[in-house]
Structure 1
């Protein structure tokens, strides 16, 4: 049964394969400022090297620490991977607080299911598993956004209790309770 775990070396091979799936669907193109888009650039070409991948995993884990240096406009975030045994199925990030941009566009929680694992309920289960983690970070209601034309993501958010607040540009903004 899949579970949310901290980024780990155990899924090295599978993670690299998943990032190639994302790259093939165009997630490394200019302008893709989502989590996967940013990750498939930079050092992704070197991830086959276990040492490079280990540094990447460590850098993700450090992002949850308040004092970790990060670019302007970025906040502490907890990276979690949706994994079944050694198979990477998806990634999720919980941003510990909202900036003006996150309030309008990005939200508290962002998630991606690898292309070959979609339409099997992983997104819904992954978000459901993340809500108690967000509650543990002091987030009472998580803002989760999606593009207005992303029917799958809309269903995932609504199945997890998301209540639509509004639309800003192409983004739908939902508030999701983090505790039952």
Structure 2
């Protein structure tokens, strides 16, 4: 009997770009082994339009994508998380709710594409670049031999993934 999918929550302050991208990426890259969720400490009213545009362009299902508070995942009726990753420095510094089940966590911070300025092309690049960095990190994560790693070793791997520099995320695999 196959193992139940692992629940993975991605946190960011606004839950309008990076965390939503990560939710979509892990749902696809995890191929049924992982279920992605995302939330923010102070969520925006809606996802950033460029986030939705990019995800749709890359053929992600965006029908359920919405900005939401991390409080949705801290209550007794929330799905129990196996992993919680912060993808922005601000959310990583905030006091988080206590997550039921004591999920493994790590910080995978990266620049916020929603804060990008410049030409239309430069802003589009910021979104595409954030997506690429997240996809690289999530691809490494979903290919870890989870069943073969003890909790300490797994934590080291999760932290190592988050410490990838921008240059490492852009290097060919």
TM-score, normalization: structure 2?
0.32
Higher helix residue share: 2
TM-score, normalization: structure 1?
0.31
Higher strand residue share: 1
